[in-house]
Amino acid sequence: MKTLYFDCFAGASGNMILGGLIALGVDPRRLGEQLKLLNLPDFEIELTDVDKSGIAAVHANVMVPHEHAHRHLHQIEKIINDSALEDSVKQRATAIFARLAEAEARIHGIDVQKVHFHEVGAMDAIIDVVGACIGFEMLGIEKYACSRIHVGSGFAKMAHGKFPVPPPAVAELLRGIPIYSTEIEGELCTPTGAAIIATLAESFGEMPELTVDKIGYGAGTRDYPDFPNVIRMMLGQSENRRSTVASRTLILLETNLDDVTGQTLGYVMEKAFEFGAFDCWFTSIQMKKNRPATMISILCAPENRERLTELLYVETTTLGVRVRELERDCLERKFVKIQTQFGEIDVKIGIFNGRQVNAMPEFDQLKGIAAEKGIPLKLIKDEVLRKLNEQS
């Protein structure tokens, strides 16, 4: 199983993770093309090879126009969900921001939707998070693990004042995760870095059994004497490396309704996807007194269970929600670019036991070409798959 290990001996931040992914082989040009699908104002990622106490690392500096307004969670989710990015990238990115919002809500004692982000709502943080999710997808990572996290020491100046390290948001995000502090002063772990790792990593502490293929270093901004301010990201195959099926525990939420309108059901499905659901579907059923009804089913990650359960209670008439844990298997995936008479098109390939079992061209690209050239979408898809078979 393709596994990424975050070695956070100098903490973690969004731009450190982004730099580490570039060092691991993520194509900066393709990353930039994908980020432009967010339709954000002009931005640039300046990549620099730097030396941090003798370690060669990549520093990613996201440069954006100056902004005054702060954003709420729903505004960030809209930016991400309205884009043409892959659904897996959208789901991972919105789950990270949802975790950030939940941490802020607990700290301030307010509703999640009333949280307005300061530093993490800025455009550069959105690019850090979404860029990291795009990079994870490009590298085909199936499993995430992390070391204990060095958080730094001293005090950090935040939007609300001066706070001890780790500041409240980071401390909340890292609850239940092993952290430590040394004499190194400063905020080594930022809310963005903490949210990415806390949302994705399945284990923390000692490195799991791993056959390492690549190592990349992402640089932080600060320089310390005799201390490399970098995150080490190790990519390789975990112990069940012969298996090409990744398994993950998911949550299935279900409830039966015989007194809601179609408009309400459609709205609930729309919000479920905005809140990070992997899937949402309706099943026609028959309830007591022979009433026709609808069963709502929502599939989600464990970290999104509470939020999606609240959605069902607040937006429908249900008095109870059934909850089940499920195991979902996923094929190993890789991405290739296929050159056709219509241009270059991305194709996602599913692999089982070392052989290709299915392939799917990027739908939004097919749709755009079909609309631009007035050609049936099916013909473009058939051409892409024919070219793929010729190259196999």
Where among 272, 296, 320 does a domain terminate? 320
CATH number of the domain enclosing 309: 3.30.70.1380
Phi, psi of 265 (to 5 degrees): -60, -45
Give the chain's domain count: 3
Q: What per-residue confidence (pLDDT) applies to 115?
A: 72
Q: What per-residue confidence (pLDDT) applies to 297?
A: 97
**pLDDT, tens only, 56-79:** 999 999 988 877 667 888 889 999
Where among 238, 264, 282 does a domain terminate? 238
Co-location of 49 and 133 in the same domain: yes
SS3 of 235, please?
Answer: strand
276: left (phi over 0), alpha (psi -120 to 50) or beta: left
Co-location of 103 and 178 in the same domain: yes
Co-location of 21 and 145 in the same domain: yes
Containing structural domain, residue 201 = 2-238
Co-location of 314 and 167 in the same domain: no
What is the Cα–Cα distance from 366 to 321, expressed in whole angstroms? Answer: 39
Q: What per-residue confidence (pLDDT) applies to 243?
A: 45
The pTM for the full model equals 0.63
What is the Cα–Cα distance from 309 to 322, expressed in whole angstroms? Answer: 10
Q: What per-residue confidence (pLDDT) applies to 344?
A: 86
Co-location of 121 and 146 in the same domain: yes
Co-location of 191 and 267 in the same domain: no
326 part of a folded domain: no
58 part of a folded domain: yes
Where among 259, 286, 320 does a domain terminate? 320
Q: Residues in the chain with pLDDT < 50?
A: 241-243
From residue 231, alpha-carbon distances to 6, 112, 193, 324 in Å are 7, 30, 10, 37
Q: What per-residue confidence (pLDDT) applies to 35?
A: 96
